[in-house]
Chains A and B, each alone.
Chain A
Amino acid sequence: MRLKFGHAACVAVLLTATAALAQSKPVAGAVAEGSLKGKTLTFVSYGGIYQDGQAAALKEFVDKSGVKLLNDGPTEIAKLQAQVESGNVTWDVVDTDDLPPYVYCGKLFQKLDLNKLDVSKIPEGQVGECSVPAMNYGVVLMYNTEKYKDNPPKSWADFFDTQKFPGVRGIDGSGSPTGGLLEQAFKVAGGDPKAMTVADIDKAIDVVRKLGPDTIFWKTGAESQQLAESGEADMLMMWTGRAMTAVKNGAKYTPAWQDWLVVMDQMTIPVGVKDTDASYALINAYLGKHSQEVLAEQTSYTPINSEAQPKVDASVSAFLTNSPERQKQGYKQNFKFWVPNFAVAQEKWSALMAGN
């Protein structure tokens, strides 16, 4: 009798414990069978192989939960704002750039309830108030090995030094300024990026301007890749994914990893979605080890689950940014500065982009 009672108590305790665990501690990648049957979620990202890879990473989630997943895109914050303003939000989970979830936190993006997500495997310092990372990548300095031969550039300081390293530069001109690059430019101007002020943005942009009229501002990732493959720029600021593809396609370029700029895409839940918990379930599944492996294998972006071990070939792993060595060389932008000053920086950067 006593034994029986003890047994039952034990089971009860265990049951409550697991139930409590299941409620308060979600596990990244786990999803309850049939939990979202009959529901529809719209996932928004940037299209191309990236979003295809994300869809593949979410396949297990879709199969298990029974949710109907719609893909939309590309992500445009203005479109999202229109949805939030009109009270008709059709985007349930949105993949965005680095800064928007910080700039519009609470306005366009929900503050995340971290009890509903397992963020324990995400690299340190990447979980925001309104976002978790979608993947990691880098902005890296690529140089033409045939042009610089024995005396290659080693840092962003060399990138900005046209005296010692003559040649055409290619810079990301796809829209928004890259905080990390401006900080590196500010360093060249003799400043300390950690103590940057609004007035210093001009000084940083002046360093970029001084690169001269031959500087190419590429508009799309594809264009940057094309600049490398055709050899039209001697030094290029490139996204690691594009850099990898260019090298694979035979571009005679190699990265200078010192102070590569750490960047990421973010996963967010817009304000006013119809089923917040379903959105959380999607993100939580996306953060799982297996999902992140699939993502990395399909897109060659760096997974954000530290346990993920994607099977990729050497040309891909050369550009993954999560090895201990790369982590040490990476440069993180001063988020605290750029978030409140995003608009000012964008204005000044746009003026540079418009030839002023």
Chain B
Amino acid sequence: MSALDPTTPSAPKWAGRAWRPFALTLPALLLLAAVIGYPLLTIVLRSLSEPQWGAQNYVWFFGTPVNLTVLQRTFVISAWVTLVCIICAYPYAYLMTAVGPRVRLALVLCVLIPFWVSGVVRTLSWVILLQDSGVINSLLRSAGFDGVRLIRTQTGVVIGMAQVLLPFMILPLYSVMKGIDLRLMRAAQSLGARPSRAFFTIYLPLSLPGVYAGAIIVFILALGFYITPALLGGPRSTMLSTLVQTQVLSLLQWGRGGAMGVVLLVATFVLLALAAPVMRSRYREAGRR
């Protein structure tokens, strides 16, 4: 009944105004400000103000060798994970574009189902697979090979992280690849290019935006990984998040923990800024072709 009430305005006053689209993003912006902006600001402030105002926490960070080793290691492991993800995801995403709708659905499910399982569960499954007396090593031994040390090594951590992060690489790749006209490949071959030549000069450049998008997502997510390196790694594969955890939860040094977070964030931005020009030029190149 109230809808028919003549005093109810039929449309909001701002309807039709130019800034309406921005108003629509307001809920998302407010949410981001509340759950990302504010905490981030607090972290930065605390890193500069605890226990006193000053750069002490940053001085401590760069003056402690273990922090620098671990920071570097965090980037190296993340880079390896990104590389492994690209290698595994690329053919998979291509296959998704090449098959019929039913098989594609099956392939999508194969990517997404593990995605719905908690990261902890998947990591623990990797423990069972990778450990010295685990599935992989038992198979190797029964086939007459020597066992390999996988758990508590960097290799084990990279394998586990790559599996957890694979969907983030496959999905952007697929969304770019499905837009590539496969007739271009046929055209190239009809003009005398060998399949490999056609792939490297046509398909690969056109798919690069997907590779970049996936790589950035995977790399950045990998930098903050905590559970997987903690469970699959040993001391030599400890990542920065573990050190942050020690400072914050065990030593109550929130300033130091904050400083570590800020250093990681800034380092990531710097790296992305360095990579951006390369990617932009590639994008344009890909667009031109």
Contacts and interface: CB of A to CB of B under 8 A. Distances in A.
Given A219-B230, A230-B133, A354 B152 contact: no
Interface string B111-146: 000000000000000010001110000000000000
Given A232-B132, A352-B235, A343 B251 contact: yes
Given A76-B249, A175-B246, A216-B152, A355 B230 contact: no
Contact of B249 (A77, A217, A232, A343): A77
A127 interface: no
B235 A355 contact: yes
Contacts of B69: 354-356
Most buried by B among A223, A347, A351: A351
A77 B248 CA distance: 9
Nearest to A351: B66
B234 A219 contact: no
A354 B251 contact: no
Contacts, number: 63
A188 interface: no
Nearest to A175: B250
Interface string B64-77: 01100110010000
B238 interface: yes
Interface in A202-254: 213, 216-217, 219, 223, 226, 230-232
B132 A354 contact: no
B219 interface: no
B208 to A, nearest CB: 36
Interface residues of A, number: 26
Contacts of A346: 246, 250-251
B254 interface: yes
A217 B234 contact: yes
A355 B127 CA distance: 20
Interface string A65-92: 0000000000011100100000000000
Given A216-B234, A217-B234, A355-B69, A350 B243 contact: yes
A354 B238 contact: yes
Interface in A168-216: 173, 175-176, 213, 216
B234 A78 contact: no
B131 A230 contact: yes
A176 B248 CA distance: 13
A81, A226, A356, most chain B CB atoms within 10 A: A356
Interface of B: 65-66, 69-70, 73, 127, 131-133, 152, 230-231, 234-238, 242-243, 246, 248-252, 254
15 contacts: A78-B252, A175-B250, A213-B236, A217-B234, A230-B133, A346-B246, A346-B251, A350-B66, A351-B66, A352-B235, A354-B242, A354-B243, A355-B69, A355-B237, A356-B65
